[in-house]
């Protein structure tokens, strides 16, 4: 996750109640999505950005996960995500992000 996004997530976690905050990822690969999920839970694995050593433990989902899909207006989801749902490896991404969430999310 780039420095700017790390700073944004950190600022949001400080401004709002972290328990009520959900990070939605949109990465195209399981590995990079997993790293982003790790960044907003355990902290920046590259130890380079504002979340280095900062364990926010936020709830984190990928936009392709069924829990997110069910929470969206089906028409909007189809319009915005329908194409990418067919393109990306939904299973691998879901599995990776869920693994990180279940292991490291505090909320």
Partner 1 sequence: MLPVIKGAAYCLFHGPDLVMVSGTTYRTERIQNPNSDYIKAVPSRLRKFQDVVGYLPNQVYIGNIWPEDMPKYTRPWYENLIPDAKPQGPFGELVPQNLLYGVLKLADSFDLVVLEKDFQERIKPEMVATGLFQEQDFAKWKEGASLEAIQKEIETAHAEPLNLDGQLVGCVRRAHELDPALQAEVMLENLLAKATAVWTVRRFLKNTGFDPKEIEYIIETTEEACGDMNQRGGGNFAKSIGELCGLVNATGSDIRSFCAGPAHGMMAAAALVQTGVFKNVLVVGGGSGPKLGMNSRDHVKKGMPILEDMLGTFAIVVGENDGVNPVIRTEFIGRHKIGTGATPQAVMEALVAEPLARAGLKFGDVDRYAPELQNPEITEPAGAGNVPLANHKMIAALAVMKGQVPKAEMEAFVQAHGVPGYAPTQGHIPSGVPFVGYAREGILNGKYKRVMIIGKGSLFLGRLTNLFDGISFIIEPNIKETKPEGIDEEAIRSLVANTLRKVAEELKG
- Cα(106)–Cα(58) distance, integer angstroms: 6
> With binding defined as CB under 8 A, does residue 2 bind partner 1?
no
> With binding defined as CB under 8 A, does residue 32 bind partner 1?
yes
CB atoms near residue 65 (< 10 Å) = 20
CB of 31 to partner 1, least distance (A): 5
Of 25, 35, 58, 64, the one binding partner 1 (CB under 8 A) is 35
> With binding defined as CB under 8 A, does residue 28 bind partner 1?
yes
Q: Can you list the alpha helix ranges (DSSP code H) found in 1-107?
A: 3-15, 30-39, 66-71, 74-87, 90-104
> With binding defined as CB under 8 A, does residue 95 bind partner 1?
no
CA dihedral of residues 53, 55, 61, 67 (deg, nearest 10): 170
CB of 9 to partner 1, least distance (A): 17
Instruction: List interacting residues with partner 1 (CB under 8 A).
Output: 28-29, 31-32, 35, 79-84, 86-87
């Amino acid at each position: 996750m780039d420095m700017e996004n790390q700073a944004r997530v950190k600022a949001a976690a400080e401004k709002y109640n972290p328990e009520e905050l959900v990070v939605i990822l949109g990465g195209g690969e399981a590995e990079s999505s997993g790293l982003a999920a790790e960044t907003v839970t355990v902290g920046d694995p590259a130890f380079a950005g504002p979340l280095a050593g900062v364990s926010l433990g936020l709830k984190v989902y990928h936009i392709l996960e069924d829990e997110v899909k069910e929470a969206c207006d089906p028409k909007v989801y189809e319009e915005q995500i329908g194409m990418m749902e067919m393109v990306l490896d939904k299973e691998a991404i879901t599995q990776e992000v869920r693994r990180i969430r279940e292991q490291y999310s505090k909320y």
